[in-house]
Amino acid sequence: MRRSGTMSNPLHRLKESLLAAPIIWKGDYPYFIHPLTDGVPRLEPTVLTAVVELIENVVNWDSIDLVLGIEAMGLPLTSPLSMRNNRPQVVVRKRSYGLEGELVVDQSTGYSKGEMFLNDIKEGERLLIVDDVLSTGGTLDAIIRGVESLGAVIEAIIVVVEKGPGLAQLQEKYPHIEISSIVRLEMVDGKVVLLDEVI
């Protein structure tokens, strides 16, 4: 059965799923739990399809050689983009495989610190980087520096959910890269509040 009206709108589907996300409290801070950012609760195919369509429609695929996702939630996002647009994908991992050319990058965010590992990114390749959520920007900053040190070119970075100042800071730091998000939100009084549209 075909749905009509706003329910068939991909952006509306994503927003509705975010507004319906469960909230948990860690100390005094509320966190929204969403299948695209946390892997739970279950990810409805309509929501994943909506996000893939939203990303797909703003990318110039003629300028992309490789889709780069970030462990772990980058996988459900990059896999359908790779398949539908006939571009290979690779994932930034949190463990080393010791492959030739593997690059270690230091990751530091407001939530964690550690190492990530870039593999099979070639000099001159043009990349699309897809991330699920961006808060402080520490993870993406480290990945950008790592990818550029390998001589690859980042054509675009698309983040599904933007919260906090990280994206704007990255845009200022890397004006030569197109960095955008699909939705912006903040937590207000323990609830998800959607901000102005950005895509």
pLDDT grade for 110, boundaries at 50, 70 and 90:
low
pLDDT tens per residue, range 80-108: 999 999 999 999 999 999 999 999 999 76
Residue 199 reports pLDDT greater than 60? no
Confirm whether 59 is domain-assigned.
yes
What pTM did the predictor assign?
Answer: 0.91
Confirm whether 11 is domain-assigned.
no
pLDDT tens per residue, range 136-166: 999 999 999 999 999 999 999 999 999 989 9
Confirm whether 61 is domain-assigned.
yes
Confirm whether 81 is domain-assigned.
yes
Confirm whether 55 is domain-assigned.
yes
Residue 62 sits in a domain whose CATH number is 3.40.50.2020
Confirm whether 24 is domain-assigned.
no
Instruction: Provide mean pLDDT across the span 174-192.
Output: 95
Print the domain residue range for 50.
43-185
Count of structural domains within the chain? 1
Go through 134-169 and write b for each residue having 16 or more CB atoms within 10 A of its CB, e for each that does not.
bbbbbbbbbbbebbeeeebebbbbbbbbbbbebbeb
